[in-house]
Amino acid sequence: MKRKKLSGMIAVGCLCLFTGGFPVRAASSASYMVTIRPGSVARFSESFLNQYRAAGALVTEKTGSIKIQIPAGGTIPYLPDAGDLVYKDGKEGRYTMNTDWYPKNLTVTGNESLVVKYDALNDAVEYRVRYVDDRSGEDIATPLISQGNEGESYTFYPEKVAGYACDTESRELKLSSKAGDNEVTFRYESTVEPNVNQVVIPGETITETEVVPGDTTIITDGGTRVTEAGGSTSEGTDGAAMGDEGTGQNVVTAGGQTQGQTAGEQETIEENDVPRGRQPENDERGTNRDTQEIEADETPLSNKEGKADKDLKSYVIGGGAVVILAIAGLLLYTRKHRLR
């Protein structure tokens, strides 16, 4: 008996020595099943179901329930809101989804079964949920517009928008009789790096930076162009000099206004002023450098009057000569006849 016991102990010891040199494989990470059912009043929309299908969930065709395996510590991908429901016949306008059934925490720590719950729509008021770009203020997802009961509190979660991150995990709203108070806004920051395209041409460099949506274009002399989202302002690299006064910069905004500033002293050149350092081509400052031709009908009035006087004098002299010649001829003719 003792010999058998001793032999068993030796065998166990050998087994421990044999396996001690090999690492023990850790157990695989745990995962849990999360089930979401639409209830008896409505069903989930196809767009909502397609989101879960894309995430690898199983959708039951008969009941429209969703089953998805989520690793421990992961989060529930999507929770339906009023816009994700299609009410059954006769239920539209009579019921509204409450949010009391939402889990307090989206982190998964065990198997969960969630069922959508509804309230009868009695004191109906309209509410709106917006998803906007924080810089431009523009909607980046379709706003949710639905109805709930006045005085009831509702919880809302932000939509997942590609290329954006939301500023908060959830928001709550207690519906009021004042329509302007029943709005929730989720603000998003872009997570996408701006696209920068640089084109180098001999003598100038053009850099284009584009962030969507919304933009303001700034153009600086020397060919540098910078475009940014949300109306922000950036400075480009100064390029070619402006005249003899140094490097300049022009900023062209979306409204079409231009702001200019030279590195040297700014001067306003009037219409008849001659720039510094440049000699006038004619005698003095006021002399017109361009010679204008005067057409016949543009002859000054004084010149026309002088010409008329000269023509009149010619006519008078010519007429007098004719008269003298006529008298002389008459006298000669009379004398000849007397002599005969």
The answer to whether residue 60 scores a pLDDT higher than 60 is yes
* The pLDDT of residue 142: 95
Task: Please compute the mean of the pLDDT values over residues 82-90 and round it to a whole number.
Answer: 94
What is the average pLDDT across 116-125? Answer: 95
The structure tokens 């040199």 sit at 21
103 token code pair: 């889990």
pLDDT over 80 (residue 184): yes
User: Cα-flanking dihedrals φ and ψ of residue 278, to 5°?
Assistant: -120, 120
Chain-wide mean pLDDT for the chain?
A: 73
Given a cut of 80, is residue 309 above it in pLDDT?
A: no
Residues forming beta bridges with residue 200, ordered by sequence position = 205
Does residue 262 surpass a pLDDT of 50? no
Longest dimension (CA), the chain: 206
Q: Give the model's pLDDT for residue 224.
A: 47
- What does the pLDDT read at residue 198? 67
pLDDT of residue 1: 47
Per-residue pLDDT, 179: 78
Q: Report pLDDT for 78.
A: 95
Pairing between strand 118-120 and 95-97?
antiparallel
- Mean pLDDT score, 285-295: 45
The pLDDT of residue 337: 64
Domain boundaries, the chain: 30-121, 123-192, 195-261
Can you read off the two tokens belonging to residue 42?
């409505």
**CB of 140 closer than 8 Å to CB of 132:** yes
pLDDT at 323 (0 to 100): 76
**Highest mean pLDDT (candidates 125-129, 265-269, 296-300, 320-324):** 125-129
pLDDT confidence of residue 340: 52
**24 SS3 class:** coil
For residue range 5-22, list pLDDT tens digits in order: 445 555 545 444 444 444
Contact by Cβ (8 Å): 232, 254: no
Burial (0-12, 13-18, 19+ Cβ within 10 Å), 232:
middle
| pLDDT the model gives residue 326 | 77
Range with lowest mean pLDDT among 143-152, 185-194, 269-278: 269-278
Burial class (CB in 10 A: 0-12, 13-18, 19+), 67: middle
Quote the distance between the C-alpha of residue 278 and its chain's center. Answer: 46
pTM score over 0.85: no
Neighbours of 35 (CB within 10 A): 16
pLDDT band of 220, cuts 50, 70, 90: very low
- Name the DSSP class of 273: P
Listed range (44-48, 167-171, 305-309, 333-337) with the worst mean pLDDT: 305-309
Mean pLDDT of 224-243: 45
Distance of alpha carbon 96 from alpha carbon 313, whole angstroms: 111
How many Cβ atoms are within 10 Å of 233's Cβ, its own excluded? 10
What are the helix and strand counts (H, E) for the chain? Answer: 3, 20
Cβ-based burial of 43 (10 A; exposed 0-12, middle 13-18, buried ≥19): buried
Q: What is the secondary structure of 133-160 as a DSSP string? A: ETTT--BSSPPEEEEEETT-EEEE-PPP
Cα-Cα end-to-end distance for the chain: 206
pLDDT digits (tens, 9 = 90+) for 157-177: 999 999 999 989 999 999 999
- Label residue 330 by pLDDT band (50, 70, 90): confident
Band of residue 303 on the pLDDT scale cut at 50, 70, 90: low
Q: Does the pLDDT value for residue 100 go beyond 80?
A: yes
Q: What is the pLDDT of residue 17?
A: 46
Please tell me which residue, 129 or 340, carries the higher pLDDT value: 129
Looking at domain 123-192, does it have CATH number 1.10.150.80? Answer: no
